[in-house]
Amino acid sequence: MPANDIAPITQDFLTIPRKERNGPVNLVGLTREKLRETLINQGTESKKARMRASQIWQWIYQWGVRDFNAMTNLAKDYRTSLTESFVIGIPEVVGRRASEDGTLKYIVRLAGGHEVETVYIPETDRGTLCISSQVGCTLTCSFCHTGTQRLVRNLTAGEIIGQVMLARDDLGDWPRKGVGMGERPRLISNIVLMGMGEPLYNFDNVRDAMKIAMDGEGISLSRRRITLSTSGVVPEISRTASEIGCMLAVSFHATTDKLRDKLVPINRKWNIDALLNALREYPKASNSERITFEYVMLRDVNDSDEDARRLVRLIRGIPAKINLIPFNEWPGAPHRRSTKERIGKFADIIYKAGYASPVRTPRGEDIMAACGQLKSATERMRKSRREIEMEAQR
């Protein structure tokens, strides 16, 4: 992770109460291995540590239990010792808004008081949870509301997986004893890392959290039901394939470097050619069928027939689906949404070239929960022009 792309730790971080930093260890977000080590350090007999870790893991991630005293297959004394040393903590929901279309937006407060947003999108055949990986974003894509927010910090693995857990709490999506897994629909059947932040600038924490989400003894989501969206952090793409192996979406949005430099400024660091080279390797390396190319439709900016043809030429040879996203407006946004007719014509060219080209129906617009509209209430501060320029040049 290029450290200089992350804004310096701010005063806000320093305001985390000391007690929280030195207090009991939170078990949520630890990998299995770390959980085992942590138990040994606390005094669990090392011969038994693997089994204990597995038991605790199942309580936390399979059943959603947060109280050690409810872990009935552990001896009472042992439960007491766990209570003294550890907590099972997830971020707090401080706001919940429901859209007319059923979309739910959670305002989630992290340690230190920062907030991120998590969005649940129910559909007929599935339910998708859109989770955040950073408070704000260091990048400054011109069409994205999150990009106007100062980055405060990366989320921890616990805060990332914690978003899945808090949504499962709210939706009542934890399994119930006696009800078989296949007997009830999972409300959260898919996860997309498309909330606030650039997940590949917080690689290790995102990886650890997704490993927890995929673990068969817990939340148990297939890697094919997890999609990570990146603006194009090229050096981390092969690691995403080998260390996470989930589905990949890429925020493409432009077909020339000149335009992409402006819309997705990370392009100045890793241009379209470099990005496409990394993407060509991804499906093989991760054994996934295809990559999703996200393309936000901006009126008179990137939506011509010529753009559509160029797009098809560029991605030739890459197994792909192209997701057209009508631009979602936010206060002060410098773009407008392409017309329906234009989006239709653009989609047609792509479809005729042999690619699926679904147009994403905006969800949750009335509660500012649609793609690119997320921005936490505590951080309305706009980045200065100078900051944006400096970040773009890095």
Judged by the rule CB under 6 A, the positions of this chain that interact with ligand SAH are 143-144, 194, 198, 229-231, 251, 294, 296, 325, 327-328, 371-372
How many residues belong to the chain? 394
- Residue 161 and residue 188: Cα distance in Å, rounded? 13
From 64, 91, 127, 147, residue interacting with ligand SF4 (rule: CB under 6 A): 147
Site string for ligand SF4, 163-202 (x = CB under 6 A): ----------------------------------xx----
CB closer to ligand SF4, 61 vs 143: 143
**For residue 92, what is the enclosing H or E element?**
strand 92-98
- Residue 25 and residue 239: Cα distance in Å, rounded? 29
Q: How far is the CB of 393 from ligand SAH (least distance, A)?
A: 19
**For residue 25, what is the enclosing H or E element?**
strand 25-26
From 30, 111, 139, 333, residue interacting with ligand SF4 (rule: CB under 6 A): 139
Q: Which residues pair with 228 in a beta bridge?
A: 193, 248
Q: Is 208 in the site for ligand SF4 (CB under 6 A)?
A: no
303 touches 343 (CB < 8 A): yes
Q: How far is the CB of 139 from ligand SF4 (least distance, A)?
A: 4
From 53, 71, 104, 137, residue interacting with ligand SF4 (rule: CB under 6 A): 137
262: burial class by Cβ within 10 Å (0-12, 13-18, 19+)? Answer: middle
From 141, 161, 164, 350, residue interacting with ligand SF4 (rule: CB under 6 A): 141
Note the Cα 324 to chain centre separation in Å. Answer: 19
- Residue 237 and residue 240: Cα distance in Å, rounded? 5
Q: What 3-state DSSP class applies to 176? A: coil
CB closer to ligand SF4, 49 vs 137: 137
From 128, 156, 240, 251, residue interacting with ligand SF4 (rule: CB under 6 A): 251
Tokens of residue 64, six digits: 């959603």
205 contact choice in ligand SAH, ligand SF4, none (CB below 5 to 8 Å, kind-dependent): none
Q: How far is the CB of 255 from ligand SF4 (least distance, A)?
A: 17
- For residue 339, the tally of other CB atoms under 10 A from its CB is 14
Which residues, 6 or more positions from 331, have their beta carbon under 8 angstroms from its beta carbon?
Answer: none
Catalytic residues: 117, 371
170 touches 118 (CB < 8 A): no
From 53, 119, 131, 144, residue interacting with ligand SF4 (rule: CB under 6 A): 144
Q: How far is the CB of 170 from ligand SF4 (least distance, A)?
A: 24
Query: Alpha-carbon dihedral of residues 375, 379, 380, 386, nearest 10 degrees?
Result: -100
142 contact choice in ligand SAH, ligand SF4, none (CB below 5 to 8 Å, kind-dependent): none
Q: Is 246 in the site for ligand SF4 (CB under 6 A)?
A: no
Q: Is 329 in the site for ligand SF4 (CB under 6 A)?
A: no
Which residues, 6 or more positions from 9, have their beta carbon under 8 angstroms from its beta carbon?
Answer: 153
Q: How far is the CB of 387 from ligand SF4 (least distance, A)?
A: 13
Q: Which residues pair with 248 in a beta bridge?
A: 228
Q: Please give the residue whose beta carbon sits closest to ligand SAH in the complex.
A: 372
By DSSP bridging, strand 104-109 and strand 25-26 are unpaired
Binding site for ligand SF4 (CB under 6 A): 137, 139-141, 144, 146-147, 197-198, 231, 251
